[in-house]
Amino acid sequence: MKELYAHDPFLNGRSALTYGSSSYLRNIAQAGSQMGLGEDDWGVLSPPTDEGSRGTDGAFEIPFVFAIPEKAPHADAAWELLKYIMSPSQANRLVRLPHGDALPTVAADAAAADSRSAVFYRAEVDPSRVLDAAARNADPSYRRVASAIWTEANGRMQSLNDGVLDVPELLKALQAKAAQTIRDAQAKPEAKP
Residue numbers of the domain that contains 171? 139-193
3-class SS of residue 49: coil
Q: Out of 99, 114, 129, pick the residue that ends a domain.
A: 114
Do the domain assignments include residue 29?
no
CA atoms of 165 and 188, how far apart (whole Å): 34
Write down the pLDDT at residue 91.
Answer: 80
Tens of pLDDT along 76-106?
Answer: 999 999 999 888 888 877 766 655 556 777 7
Residue 182: which residues within 8 A CB-CB, separation 6 or more?
141, 145
Do the domain assignments include residue 47?
no
185 shares its domain with 147? yes
The total number of structural domains that make up the chain:
2
Write down the pLDDT at residue 107.
Answer: 75
Do the domain assignments include residue 133?
no
71 shares its domain with 106? yes
Q: Out of 79, 114, 149, pick the residue that ends a domain.
A: 114
Q: How many CB atoms lie within 10 A of CB 35?
A: 15
* CA distances in angstroms from 29 to 96, 114, 157, listed in the order given: 12, 18, 23
The pTM assigned to this predicted structure is 0.58
Write down the pLDDT at residue 193.
Answer: 44
149 shares its domain with 101? no
104 shares its domain with 149? no
Which segments of the chain have a pLDDT < 70? 49-55, 58, 60, 95-102, 110-115, 160-163, 189-193
